[in-house]
Amino acid sequence: MIAPCLRSFRILTRHCSIDGNVTRFTMSGKPYFLVIDFEATCWEGESQADQRADQEMIEIGCVVVDKDSTDILNKFSSFVRPVRYPLLSDYCSALTGITQTDVDTAPTFPYALGMMVDQLGNPLDYLFCSWGEFDRYLLRSACRYHRVPYPFDDGHLDLKPLFSEQVSGRNVPMQRALDMLGIPYKGQLHRALDDAQHIALILKEMLA
């Protein structure tokens, strides 16, 4: 039942980059997808909307996927030290497994971002991909706060609504998308690199 939807997705992505609203398509010559997941500070009892403005990045995970072969070519991961609210909540540590020591000894956002760019090369060679729009929001917010240039252009592939439109018929969490595709989760949920690797597997399956 899923196969016809996946075929239509494959046809589109071979020729286009897909805007996050899943309704506008523009030609793209970028050779790579960069699947990114961020973990952020969070607090128990507050909705994501209520705490969103105060959230800071605490971990970066990203995976490079070749647009033509769909091979995974490179990976990057780093903890990030928050500066506005440097103490992690017990809820945040329990959810992510990230400890206070992990972030206390980590680089701040500008240095962590610089490390990512140093390892991966020119960000303009990549189409930024994520599961949901929060990751792009968080990256833009961090760049504004720390007064560093946003590394990508305006292109962004939000796989969550695209998967909904092409496969599931409704928005589903990443774990549910993996189940629908028969992909087991191996690793720890809410860890940036583990989540990014599994989002990349969803992308690979949709492009295969």
pLDDT at 194: 98
pLDDT at 97: 98
pLDDT tens digits, residue range 134-156?
999 999 999 999 999 999 999 99
Q: Report pTM.
A: 0.86
pLDDT tens digits, residue range 173-192?
999 999 999 999 999 999 99
What's the number of domains the chain is made of? 1
Instruction: Write the CATH number for 106.
Output: 3.30.420.10
Q: Of 37, 36, 51, 42, nearest to 93 (Cα)?
A: 42
pLDDT tens digits, residue range 88-137?
999 999 999 999 999 999 999 999 999 999 999 999 999 999 999 999 99
How many of the other CB atoms lie within 10 Å of CB of 90?
A: 9
Residue 68 structural domain: 3-207
Tell me what percent of the chain is helix, strand and coil, each rounded to the nearest 5. Answer: 45, 20, 35
Q: Of 81, 111, 85, 115, nearest to 98 (Cα)?
A: 81
Which tokens go with 39? 């973990």
pLDDT tens digits, residue range 52-89?
889 999 999 999 999 999 999 999 999 999 999 999 99
Coil, helix or strand at residue 73: strand
